[in-house]
Structure 1
Amino acid sequence: MTVLTTDRLRLEPMDSAHYAGLRALNSDPVVMRYITGAAETPDETRAVIERVQGRWRTVGYSWWSFLDRETGELVGAGCIQHLGHDPANPHEIGWRLWPEHWGKGYAIEAARRMARFAFEELDAPLLCAICDPDNAASARVMHKLGMRYQGEESSHGSPVSVYRVERAAWLAGQAA
C-alpha cells in the first residue's frame, strides 16, 4: 500500500488505526453537507474502512487518510478510484477536510499529490471529479488542479458538477 507525502501531509492508506478520526470526520454534518448530506454511523465507518482496505489489496489504490506530518492529527481524507468503482470507467479524485483546515491549502496540496500518483504511477489518461453545484470551495480546488468544468449530471439522484483533466494537460500545467 502506497504512502504519499507532501510538505505538510502524510497520506496513509485508510485503515482501522484511523477509525476514530474518520468516524468523527464522516459524522460531522458540515463535512458531509455536500457529500451525502447525512452523518455516517459507526458501523458505516467500519464498513467503509473494510471496503477501502479491500480495494487497496485488489487494485492497489483507493482512499488515504490525510495526517498532519508534525502532529499526526487526521485533517481529512481523499481518494483515487474508478467512477462507480468500475475499472471500465475513468479515475476519480476526491477529498474532504475538517472545516478548521479549510482555506489552508491542504486540499490542493493533497489533490496535487494524489493526481501525480494517478498520472505517473497508474498512467491514468484522465481524472474526473464531481461536486455539489453549491460547493464552490471544492470547485476552486478542481480549477487549481487544472480541471475544467464539463457540465452538470445526476449522481445518486442529485445534481453534480463534473470536472476533468487529461494527463497531458495536467503534466503540461505542472511543467509551467
Structure 2
Amino acid sequence: MDLETERLKLEPYHPSHYEGLRIMEGDPQIMRYISNGKVKTPDETWDGINRVMQRWETYGFSWWAIREKMSGMVVGAACLQHLANVEGAPLEIGWRLIADYHGNGYATEAARAIIEFAAGHVGATYLVAVADPKNSASQRVMQRLGMTFKAVEQHYDVPCVVYELQLHRGEQSNGQST
C-alpha cells in the first residue's frame, strides 16, 4: 500500500526501486550503523527486494522505498516489520536515507506516515525503533516522533538502543489520538 505525505511517496519495494536502493546500500557511510559499514552487493540488493516483496504478501507490510514527490527520486527506505524479523516480536519502524537527503526531515515525515498506517491499518498499539547506540541522528528522529528510550538490548546480533511508542487506533502524526 502506497503512503503519501506532503513531500514524499512511500511505495512497497518493487524491482523499479533497485537503482535508488543500490545507491544507499552501496554507501559505507549509510551502512556503518546497519552492517558495520559492510555494503551490500548488487545480488544482495535484489535478494532484499524479493524478500521484502514476499513479506508484503505475507504480512501486508514491510519496507517502502521513499520517493521524493518533486524529483521522483528514491531518497531512502522505511519499514514496519517484526523486530529483527522475528515473527511475533513487537512491530518495529525503521528508516535510512541516501546521504544527499539527510537533514531534510524526510525520515521523520516517512516514519509519521508509517505510524499512522500501523495504527489505522494494522491495528498496532505498540511500536519500537532500534538503532546503533552511536547513531544519534536516528535517536533524534525517534525522539521527534514522541518515542521514549526503553533500554539497550541485543537485536540483529548487535547492541541496540530501543525506543518505544504506545499507540491508539487512529493515531495522528502529531502524536495525538483521534
Q: Same fold judged by TM-score > 0.5?
A: yes
- Please say if residues 25 and 31 of structure 1, whose CA atoms lie closer than 8 Å, have aligned partners that are also in contact: yes
- Please say if residues 146 and 170 of structure 1, whose CA atoms lie closer than 8 Å, have aligned partners that are also in contact: no
Q: Which amino acid aligns with 1:21?
A: G
- Please report how far the alpha carbon of residue 4 of structure 1 lies from its aligned counterpart in structure 2 after TM superposition: 0.3
Residue pairs, 1:26-175, within 5 angstroms: 26-37=25-36, 38-168=38-168, 171=171, 173-175=175-177
So what's the TM-score if we normalise by structure 1?
0.94
Q: Which amino acid aligns with 1:164?
A: E
Q: Which amino acid aligns with 1:61?
A: F
Stretch of structure 1 that moved more, 17-26 or 166-175:
166-175
- Please report how far the alpha carbon of residue 157 of structure 1 lies from its aligned counterpart in structure 2 after TM superposition: 3.5
Task: Find the aligned partners of 1:10 and 1:141 in 2 and give their Cα distance.
Answer: 19
Give me the CA root mean square deviation: 1.8
Residue 14 in structure 1 maps to residue 13 in structure 2: yes
Q: Which amino acid aligns with 1:56?
A: W
So what's the TM-score if we normalise by structure 2?
0.93
Gaps of 5+ in 2: none
Aligned residues: 175
Gaps of 5+ in 1: none
- Please say if residues 131 and 161 of structure 2, whose CA atoms lie closer than 8 Å, have aligned partners that are also in contact: yes
Please state which structure has a larger fraction of its residues in helix: 1
Counterpart secondary structure, 2:56: helix
Counterparts in 2 of 1:170 and 1:151: CA distance versus 1, 3 Å = farther
Task: Find the aligned partners of 1:175 and 1:116 in 2 and give their Cα distance.
Answer: 10
Q: Deviations over 1:102-151 (max 9, x none)?
A: 11111100000011100111011211110000111000000111111011
- Please report how far the alpha carbon of residue 162 of structure 1 lies from its aligned counterpart in structure 2 after TM superposition: 0.5
Task: Find the aligned partners of 1:107 and 1:156 in 2 and give their Cα distance.
Answer: 21
Task: Find the aligned partners of 1:130 and 1:149 in 2 and give their Cα distance.
Answer: 10
Task: Find the aligned partners of 1:106 and 1:156 in 2 and give their Cα distance.
Answer: 24
Task: Find the aligned partners of 2:104 and 2:122 in 1 and give their Cα distance.
Answer: 28
Q: Which amino acid aligns with 1:116?
A: E
Task: Find the aligned partners of 2:39 and 2:132 in 1 and give their Cα distance.
Answer: 16
- Please say if residues 147 and 164 of structure 1, whose CA atoms lie closer than 8 Å, have aligned partners that are also in contact: yes
Aligned identity (percent) is 45
